[in-house]
Structure 1
């Protein structure tokens, strides 16, 4: 069992589902975010408020950690200047602090938006070249390349989880892109407990019949998703408007992020239900 694990973005929706399982993998889970507190803590968990964009705040939180699970960021498209601090500089601060303090591995919440301008019909693998759909996706490309460089030059391992859609299935795209919370937990756990990873990339997607990405080159991580969005297909397709093959949101991996103007919210049109876990 690890002595100390750090979770950034602990106040977010995905972070809310990770806190309890991560607390069972270590003697001490340090959860961090920019909110004042995150309410009731799990056994072995403590909370530290810290701004990712400030090295002086995040470095002391990371000191002494075995691994960092980095889920903290603005989770939507915004103007570049807004994303620069938390999403770009924040990623650098996490990796540099992790290196300085001898952390073994960073598990990073990357995104399909790093490759969002590839067509869904292309069935891309983890070796697909970066093709970001937004400034948000560009930040994910930056962090993945940062992770690769820190492995090559400094020996800091990283597993970059290109998450597709970790939200309730209420649209046709999600029939392929869904990542259930149970599979999310398995994915992060495998990224932590795989003995050696070097620099790795894997798609965060459930075992969907219609999954548009190929994870076979990452099979060594041991991630074997259990859930399948096909159970929702009949209702979702019955309620959806007619498909439009000229709509970038329907044709590209990035979904709505592929069609919005740079700097404008991609989440606004996605009807994401905030089913954050409450302790």
Structure 2
């Protein structure tokens, strides 16, 4: 049982799924987001509205904590200037505050978009060099490198989770490869918190999909054993799929539509179009 855990991005879809499970791992869970507090809290949960881009707001929340689970960020491609505060400065603030207050570990919501321009059919593992597809993906590369540096220079552990397509059910044919169920996402985060030693670790946030294009075989020590498989939705998803186009980066790169959109323009809009059976 941990004493205190801090969760950023607690009002986002994934953060909200984590609040309950994390509250069972500690005596005190401090949840935070730039948005107002949720209507109900868990018995040992407190909520503080704060901006991760402002050290004076986020830094004090980490005092006395064992670990911080950092899920707070803008979760789409935007112009660089819009991402700078929450995604770049916010990551620095978390690692610096974690170091200042003597935390043991940062568990970070990275993204497949850190390697989003890698070809889907290459079968990469967790040692793949950065190849971001957007300014959003570049922010994930920055935070991963920050995590490695803080481990090697300051002894602060990190687990960087390259989350793929985390939704309640798979949304499109691409998700047959990239889907991460909520149940598996929670398991991955819990294992990242509970594993005794991790140093600096990168792991892919992906379920046990038959067609998964990435491998976690080098990080088996986390004990992550996903339970769900997008293949259960294959027939339904192929029925509404767009025609394959080998020249379309959205269909051939790990980042999906994020790989094909112009820098600064929404990648989520392309994913939504793909899910409706439109090319994008």
- Tell me the TM-score normalized by structure 2: 0.96
Q: CA deviation at 1:271?
A: 2.3
Give 5+ residue unaligned stretches, structure 2.
274-280
In structure 2, what is the equivalent of residue 133 of structure 1? 133
In structure 1, what is the equivalent of residue 272 of structure 2? 271
Q: CA deviation at 1:79?
A: 0.5
- Aligned 8 A contact 2:115 2:133 in 1: yes
In structure 2, what is the equivalent of residue 275 of structure 1? none
Moved more, 250-259 or 167-176: 167-176
- Aligned 8 A contact 2:256 2:271 in 1: no
In structure 1, what is the equivalent of residue 27 of structure 2? 27
In structure 1, what is the equivalent of residue 98 of structure 2? 98
In structure 1, what is the equivalent of residue 213 of structure 2? 212
Question: d(CA) in 2 for partners of 1:208 and 1:119?
Answer: 18
For 1:154-190, what per-residue CA distance to the aligned partner results, in whole angstroms no more than 9, with x for missing partners? Answer: 0000000000100131211000100000000100000
Question: d(CA) in 2 for partners of 1:82 and 1:71?
Answer: 17
In structure 2, what is the equivalent of residue 170 of structure 1? 171
Q: CA deviation at 1:86?
A: 0.4
Moved more, 263-272 or 30-39: 263-272
Q: CA deviation at 1:269?
A: 2.2
In structure 2, what is the equivalent of residue 83 of structure 1? 83
Give 5+ residue unaligned stretches, structure 1.
273-279
Question: 1:248-267 residue pairs with structure 2 within 5 A?
Answer: 248-267=249-268
Q: CA deviation at 1:241?
A: 2.1
Question: 1:118-267 residue pairs with structure 2 within 5 A?
Answer: 118-167=118-167, 168-267=169-268
Q: CA deviation at 1:240?
A: 1.1
In structure 1, what is the equivalent of residue 278 of structure 2? none
In structure 2, what is the equivalent of residue 107 of structure 1? 107
Q: Which runs of 4+ in 1 moved over 6 A?
A: none
- Secondary structure of the equivalent of 1:28? strand
- Secondary structure of the equivalent of 2:272? coil
- Secondary structure of the equivalent of 2:14? helix
- Aligned 8 A contact 2:110 2:140 in 1: yes
- Secondary structure of the equivalent of 2:180? coil
Question: d(CA) in 2 for partners of 1:104 and 1:93?
Answer: 16
Q: How many residues align?
A: 272
Q: CA deviation at 1:77?
A: 0.2
Question: 1:12-91 residue pairs with structure 2 within 5 A?
Answer: 12-91=12-91
Question: d(CA) in 1 for partners of 2:240 and 2:189?
Answer: 33
Question: d(CA) in 2 for partners of 1:241 and 1:157?
Answer: 42
- Secondary structure of the equivalent of 1:6? strand
- Tell me the TM-score normalized by structure 1: 0.96
- Secondary structure of the equivalent of 1:264? coil
Question: d(CA) in 1 for partners of 2:203 and 2:128?
Answer: 11
